[in-house]
């Protein structure tokens, strides 16, 4: 091979491209230990992505397949992006020729503006800390506004910036329903972009209906509150995965693994 691969490499691929994965593994230099992650099966109280990320972080680098289903897979994009952000060496391999090349692209722009009611701050802060500190999201925080600065102007500028680059996450609850400020931020989002469903995601903190005009849009919300099917921690991971997918789909059409 023309490139020097690290000792332990995570192999990122769509499961349907397993034959190409096996062919690649056979061609790897003897010093390279390939790590193939099995289908994810975890208990409801665990994060879906935790074991996946732990496996990637245990490796020195990542090799992802290009072409076929792997080229369209959201999970391949997520694994590649996370490895880049974690400072791992990342390589691509052509599904047909099995030629390995060093990856030269950049990571996704994960810009997020959180909109919420102050009453919900403890729950929102938990989600924000997870997204920012553990999953590398560029999450704007109003608590960092400097004293003496025009806070309304700062919030408006931050919202406009995130709508151009990424997403607004509206943390929705009974308190949020009655919030004039959240209503204004949602209206500003609607005014700023033509198809605002592509730039706003509701994160449901409680089982409350969305604003009426949002009901006509497809899949505008992700549930964060616990129910009989999934724990709250698992739901938080749902939010992270949904945001990654929404941002990724703006650059490529994605298929499931």
Domain that holds residue 16: 8-102
Using CA atoms, how far apart are residues 128 and 134, in angstroms rounded to an integer?
10
Using CA atoms, how far apart are residues 189 and 256, in angstroms rounded to an integer?
29
Angle 253-255-257 (CA atoms, 0-180°, nearest 5)?
145
Domain end (from 102, 119, 150):
102
Residues 140 and 211 in one domain: yes
pLDDT greater than 80 at residue 79:
yes
At how many degrees (to 10) do helices 232-248 and 74-85 cross? 100
| Residue 184 is assigned to a structural domain of this protein | yes
Q: Assign residue 177 the CATH number of its domain.
A: 3.40.50.10140
Q: Which residue has the tokens 């990320």?
A: 53
Using CA atoms, how far apart are residues 257 and 245, in angstroms rounded to an integer?
12
Residues 144 and 220 in one domain: yes
pLDDT greater than 70 at residue 226:
yes
| Residue 255 is assigned to a structural domain of this protein | no
pLDDT greater than 50 at residue 254:
no
Using CA atoms, how far apart are residues 187 and 150, in angstroms rounded to an integer?
20
Angle 102-76-38 (CA atoms, 0-180°, nearest 5)?
115
Between residues 40 and 3, the one the model is more confident about: 3
Between residues 141 and 175, the one the model is more confident about: 175
Residues 33 and 127 in one domain: no
Residues 207 and 130 in one domain: yes
Using CA atoms, how far apart are residues 42 and 30, in angstroms rounded to an integer?
32
Residues 95 and 128 in one domain: no
pLDDT of residue 193: 62
How many domains is the chain built from? 2
Residues 93 and 126 in one domain: no
Residues 41 and 131 in one domain: no
Domain end (from 69, 102, 135):
102
Residues 61 and 134 in one domain: no
| Residue 251 is assigned to a structural domain of this protein | no
Using CA atoms, how far apart are residues 195 and 73, in angstroms rounded to an integer?
24
CB 121 within 8 A of CB 33: no
CA distance to 5, 127, 177, 216, per residue, from 13 (Å): 17, 29, 42, 35
pLDDT of residue 1: 63
| Residue 87 is assigned to a structural domain of this protein | yes
Helix then strand count (H, E) for the chain reads 8, 10
pLDDT of residue 253: 47
Backbone angles phi, psi at 218, to 5 degrees: -80, 125
Residue 38 half-sphere exposure toward CB, CA atoms < 13 A: 2
Beta sheet of 167-172, edge-to-edge order:
138-139, 111-115, 167-172, 200-204, 221-223
Domain end (from 53, 77, 102):
102
Residues 72 and 129 in one domain: no
Q: Tens digits of per-residue pLDDT, 103-117?
A: 988 888 999 999 999
Q: Is 68 helix (H, G, I), strand (E, B) or coil?
A: helix
Q: Tens digits of per-residue pLDDT, 187-223?
A: 888 777 655 457 889 999 999 998 877 666 656 789 9
Backbone angles phi, psi at 148, to 5 degrees: 90, -10
Residues 120 and 98 in one domain: no
Comparing 124-133, 227-236, 245-254, which segment has the lowest mean pLDDT?
245-254
Average pLDDT score over residue span 162-168:
89
CB 11 within 8 A of CB 21: yes
| Residue 248 is assigned to a structural domain of this protein | no
CB 228 within 8 A of CB 122: no
| Residue 246 is assigned to a structural domain of this protein | no
| Residue 250 is assigned to a structural domain of this protein | no
CB 95 within 8 A of CB 37: no
Residue 92 burial by Cβ neighbours in a 10 Å radius (0-12, 13-18, 19+): buried
Residues 207 and 122 in one domain: yes
| Residue 81 is assigned to a structural domain of this protein | yes
Residue from 11, 6, 40 nearest 26 by CA: 11
pTM summary value: 0.85
Comparing 42-51, 151-160, 163-172, 202-211, which segment has the lowest mean pLDDT?
42-51
Residues 88 and 145 in one domain: no
Average pLDDT score over residue span 51-67:
95
């Amino acid at each position: 091979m023309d490139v020097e691969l690290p000792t332990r490499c995570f192999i990122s691929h769509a499961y349907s491209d397993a034959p190409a994965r096996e062919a690649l593994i056979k061609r790897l230099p003897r010093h390279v230990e390939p790590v193939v992650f099995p289908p994810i099966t975890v208990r409801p109280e665990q994060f879906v992505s935790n074991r996946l990320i732990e496996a990637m972080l245990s490796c020195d680098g990542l090799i992802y397949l290009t072409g076929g289903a792997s080229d369209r897979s959201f999970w391949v994009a997520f694994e590649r992006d996370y490895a880049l952000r974690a400072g791992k060496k990342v390589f691509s391999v052509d599904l047909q020729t099995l030629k390995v090349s060093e990856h030269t692209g950049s990571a996704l722009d994960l810009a997020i503006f959180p909109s919420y009611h102050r009453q919900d701050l403890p729950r929102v802060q938990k989600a924000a800390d997870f997204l920012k500190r553990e999953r590398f999201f560029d999450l704007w925080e109003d608590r960092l506004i400097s004293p003496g600065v025009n806070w309304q102007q700062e919030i408006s500028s931050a919202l406009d910036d995130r709508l151009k680059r990424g997403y607004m996450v509206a943390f929705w609850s009974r308190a949020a329903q009655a919030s004039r400020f959240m209503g204004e931020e949602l209206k500003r989002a609607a005014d700023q972009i033509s198809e605002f469903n592509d730039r706003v995601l509701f994160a449901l903190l409680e089982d409350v209906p969305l604003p009426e005009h949002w009901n006509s849009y497809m899949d505008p919300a992700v549930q964060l509150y616990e129910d009989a099917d999934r724990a709250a921690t698992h739901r938080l991971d749902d939010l992270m995965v949904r945001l990654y997918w929404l941002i990724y789909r703006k650059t490529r059409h994605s298929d499931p693994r």
